[in-house]
Chain A
Amino acid sequence: MEAITKPDIPPGTLHMLILKTLARLGSMHGYGVALHIQQTSDNVLQVEEGSLYPALQRMLIKGWVSAEWKQSENNRRARYYHLTPEGRKRLALELTGYRQVTGAIARVIEAV
């Protein structure tokens, strides 16, 4: 029997999670995004750096987010990401898709 210790983030949802987080926080650096996801999910969802940064880069290319260097709390430079209008549209799209899928999955599982 395999123990499920730390479930992976379901494939395809990382972009949505990041976009949602940025939508909520407005502007945040990579570490902040990861931390927020982890805390909000009660430590269930752990965003690995190895997938976070490639995902952020990808979203930069797509134009869903933009990034700028800003002074952070303790006077350090950090790279802050925020949503672009395109990113907002994308988030809405992904959320709709997600809800449809989870709804469908739920119906399949709950059906006797």
Chain B
Amino acid sequence: MIPLFRRLQFLFNRRRFDDDLEEELRDHLRRKAADTGIDPRRQFGNVTLVKEESRRMWTWNYLEQLLQDIRYAFRAMSANRLFTAMAALSLALGIGANTAIYSFMDAVMLRALPVQDPSSLVIFNWRAKGEAPIVQDHWGSSYSEPGGGITSPNYPYPAFQLLKTHTDVLESLFGHANGGRLDVVYNGVAELADGQLVTGDYFPGLRVPAALGRIIGPDDDRPGAPPVVMITYDYWRSRFASDPNVPGKSVNLNGKPFTIIGVAAPNFYGVSPASKPHIFIPISDIGLIKPDQDWAAGFNQGTYYWIELMGRLKPGVTMQQAEARLAGPFHNFVLSTATKDRERADLPVLWLQEGGSGVDAMRRQYSEPLWILLGMAGLILLIACANIANLLLSRASSRRREMAVRLSLGAGRFRIIRQLLTESILLAMLGAAAGIGVAALGIRLLATWMGNGEDLPIAVGIDWRVLTFTLIAALTTGILFGLAPALEATKVDTTRALKETRSSEAHARTRLWGLRFGLSHILVIAQIALSLLLVVAAALFVRTLSNLHSISLGFNAENILIFHLDASKAGYSDAALKHFYEDVETRLQRLPGVRAATTTNLPMVSGWSDSTSITVPGIPQPPEGQRGPNTSYVQIGSTFFDTMEIPILLGRPTGKGDVEGAQLVAVVNQVFVDKYFKGTDPIGRHFTFGGNKGADVEIVGVARNARYASLKRDIPPVTYAPWSQANKNRMVREMYFELRAAGDPLALANSVRQVVREASPLVPVAGLTTQVQRIDQTISQERTFAKLCTWFGGLALLMACIGLYGTMAYAVARRTGEIGIRMALGAERTRIVWMVLREVFSLTSFGIVVGFAAVYVAIRIVRSQPELAKKLFFGLQPTDPLALSISVAILLGCALLAGFLPAHRASRIDPIVALRHE
């Protein structure tokens, strides 16, 4: 204990102890000199070493030296702020970008559902060779398969009941369907929430418990059972303020009373990472929340595909076994519903998919882009590591003399190596700390971009595993490239290193194509090559985006505010519904700051479309199974063409005079006319809208072509039909309002809410946005890509420039003497600048050549997958010469700029100072 106390004393009075030792040793030397007459310093040897050794007796060596190392490292770092900032910044960006993107991918694609034993869950799908004509009614989604044909997760209810009986392979089978937006009234307050319809085995099958109350069970999913709902934990907290008495309370969904029976376990948001429902409703109650359809028939109809199925395999049963066992019964079922040969020719085939990560709508949408982004982030990390390596290398060689001095003053070799390592590790940790910040910020940016400003329905947090991985990568680089020069530096023959002048330093260099490259040159070349890859990608995506933006819309999208109302959920129907919408429309038109206002049943260029087959006199119906005449359509208000500024080329627009009961009229677009009434006057002509039993419609006008659902796809034939003529059963339920504002459209938001509240306090305003944003949403992937890639390209460029700058600055410093001599001998400043820039240029050119090889390989990969290329690029080829040449120009320009600073400094060297320096 007492020695410990003394050591502590030492720690707090080290200055005095040092002074004592110093004085004592000096006294010792003096005495010795007096006694022997020899110059004491020669005899005594290394004073510092003696001091160091003596001091070591007192210290807890490791801890104290570590603190000392760290203190020293901080001093060294702050002495070289530029170096520190650059290295830490490179690391932070590399670590941050990777962590953010990977965390995102993990949340979207890889994370398992928060349920018990997720690995035994399977998702049911079917695939068909063609359009699967047996699927007469389809509510849900289908995806085209890469090799042709379609795949879909939706099943008829009778098939569900049949498959459920196969308990030899399935422990349980349960289904769910989208419940849509619900008008939720609780305690007299109306709000919108997302619903999920579930079968009685959903919660028991997933083994998700209730956090409060009880779960929905098979008894709740029966016709005639009292209507009940479960809510998610988050919804319970936000809407019900975590009220523990919520179970048993009553809530109105779309005007019908339900009893809340329980709150689901925290973190459970249903089985799809892409949607985040708030309320779970037994599927047998579907008729209560979706009263517009005959569900009694829907449940029993074998050709109505709508319910999504998920099952839990029996222990010991593999997915393949289950698939083999269930495919037969499903085939027999589908065959029994077929009535025509055409249907029998292409029957849906059951297939299973692992369900541990949930349903995959979002994965389909984002997986490829995210993988590409992750690849890019990986490249960024690579560049960052190369940067660190380069900076450490160049710094190590500029510190050779310092090392030699310290060694000859008696510093232990191990001690110096440890010191250098401490510096590298500290630097890596600094970068990592900043990297965490970058990651957090990056995730938020990504979520905003991917979600288009709306809340993304998934929870994303920093993925600590990735963070650890990138951190280790950074640390390894730091240690590797900090250690190698450290070992090298401490091996130096001190006498020679001290005698060496800066200019005569020996450098390990590799001969390559007759040029001499140091390791740092190779690193810079690699960085430039990698940067080129990223810059080219950025250029391609930016060009894609600008191509998309320059597409002519055919209407004026500027200054349009969009929102939607669904008064049907507040109890309006038939004539009252129609009147309500007319009332709101009129009120809005009178609002100050609104130049025009109109209504549609769906927003324009939003990715949404309605289409139907039509019969045009004189055009024969195609043989069965082929697509005949058809039109996309939108139901419009009376001032649609004026508000959207779509010119009417022939005839008249539809208007207030077109009322229910009168002859149905419509305006069609040019494509429609060209396709079905080519060369004739279409005005006054009739066609039948909507198949055999459709309605007769008269064309009263022709509108100029305008984009309908998508920017990318060709404009289809479009029919603009006034909803004022819709018969009361077909009246639009959810209505979109378009307001052309005099100024900033979003500034109208509050007055719009006010107007709607005056019309009815029970109808909530939803989806307030602008037409421009709406359009941007349809190209969100391209936008996100272009943004991120530009970011990445810029980042790569920045880091390559930092690397280049570091290398050149170091080279100039090393050649100070040489440059001094050149200038003393009469070299002009410009010549010196050129000398340095020439080196920059040759390094960059090499990098670009190597980079082009990489670009070539990347382009070949993309081209080998035309689907992917089509998805990624619009209006250009990946070999787009403009994008490529712009990239090279940018890279070269930035490189020369980065090189110019050291070059300029070189030309400012004062020859006298430089020569005396040696």
Contact = CB atoms under 8 A, between A and B. Distances in A.
Interface of A: 29-31, 35, 49-50, 53-54, 56-58, 60-63, 69, 76-79
A96 to B, nearest CB: 23
B35 interface: yes
Interface in B1-36: 2-3, 6-7, 20-21, 23-25, 27-28, 30-32, 35
Contacts of B50: 49-50, 53-54
Give the 3 A-B residue pairs with the shortest CB-CB distance, closest first: A57-B57, A53-B54, A31-B31
A62 B28 contact: no
Contact of B3 (A30, A53, A56, A63): A63
Contact of B57 (A35, A61, A77, A78): A61
B53 A31 contact: no
A30 B32 CA distance: 11
Nearest to B34: A74
A61 B45 contact: no
Contacts of A57: 21, 54-55, 57-58
B27 A63 contact: no
Contacts of A62: 3
Contacts of A53: 21, 24-25, 50, 53-54
Nearest to A50: B50
A49 B6 contact: no
Contacts of A60: 6, 57
B415 to A, nearest CB: 16
Given A49-B45, A50-B45, A50-B49, A30 B54 contact: no
Contacts of A78: 24, 27
Given A50-B49, A53-B21, A29 B27 contact: yes
Contact of B53 (A29, A54, A69, A79): A54
B35 to A, nearest CB: 7
A54 B27 contact: no
Contacts of A29: 24, 27-28
A61 B2 CA distance: 8
Q: Which of B20, B24, B35 has the most CB of A within 10 A?
A: B24
Interface residues of B, number: 26
A26 to B, nearest CB: 19
B56 interface: yes
Given A61-B6, A61-B7, A77 B23 contact: yes
B464 interface: no
Contacts of B240: none
A86 to B, nearest CB: 9
Contacts of B3: 61-63
Nearest to B31: A31
Nearest to A62: B3
A56 B24 CA distance: 12
B6 A30 contact: no
Nearest to B46: A50
Contact of A49 (B25, B30, B57): B25
A53 to B, nearest CB: 4
Contacts of B32: 31
A69 B22 CA distance: 13
Contact of A63 (B6, B55, B57): B6
Q: Which of A49, A53, A54, A78 has the most CB of B within 10 A?
A: A49
Contacts, number: 60
A31 B49 CA distance: 18
A63 B7 CA distance: 11
Interface string B110-133: 000000000000000000000000
15 contacts: A29-B28, A30-B28, A49-B44, A49-B45, A50-B45, A54-B50, A56-B54, A57-B21, A57-B55, A61-B6, A61-B57, A61-B58, A63-B2, A76-B27, A79-B24
B27 A31 contact: yes
A54 B57 contact: yes
Contacts of B2: 63
Given A50-B53, A53-B53, A54-B57, A35 B27 contact: no
A90 to B, nearest CB: 13
Nearest to A48: B45
A62 B46 CA distance: 26
Nearest to A78: B27
Interface string B620-637: 000000000000000000
Contacts of B55: 57
A58 B31 contact: no
A56 B28 CA distance: 14
B29 to A, nearest CB: 9
Nearest to B57: A57
A50 B23 CA distance: 15
A62 B56 CA distance: 14
Given A57-B57, A79-B20, 19 more contacts: A29-B27, A31-B27, A31-B32, A35-B35, A49-B28, A49-B45, A49-B50, A53-B24, A53-B25, A54-B50, A54-B56, A57-B58, A58-B57, A60-B6, A63-B2, A77-B27, A78-B24, A78-B27, A79-B27
Nearest to A69: B20
A84 B868 CA distance: 86
Contacts of A54: 50, 53-54, 56-57
Q: Which of B6, B25, B28, B32 has the most CB of A within 10 A?
A: B28
Given A53-B54, A54-B56, A58-B57, A31 B28 contact: yes
Contacts of B7: 61
Q: Which of B31, B35, B50 has the most CB of A within 10 A?
A: B31
Contacts of B45: 49-50
Contacts of B46: 50
Interface in B49-92: 49-50, 53-58
A78 B30 CA distance: 11
Q: Which of A53, A60, A76, A79 has the most CB of B within 10 A?
A: A53
Contacts of B53: 50, 53-54
A62 B1 CA distance: 10
A49 B56 CA distance: 15
Nearest to A59: B57
B56 to A, nearest CB: 7
A31 B43 CA distance: 14
Contacts of B58: 57, 61
A35 B35 CA distance: 10
A78 B23 CA distance: 8
A54 B45 CA distance: 15
Interface in B528-573: none
A69 B30 CA distance: 16
Contacts of B21: 53, 57
Contacts of B44: 49
Contacts of B25: 49, 53
A52 B20 CA distance: 15
Nearest to B47: A49
A53 B17 CA distance: 13
Contacts of B56: 54
Nearest to A35: B35
A8 to B, nearest CB: 15
B363 to A, nearest CB: 66
Nearest to B6: A61
Contacts of A79: 20, 23-24, 27
B787 to A, nearest CB: 63
A57 B54 CA distance: 6
Nearest to B27: A78
Contacts of B57: 54, 57-58, 60-61
Contacts of A77: 23, 27
Contacts of B27: 29, 31, 76-79
B39 to A, nearest CB: 15
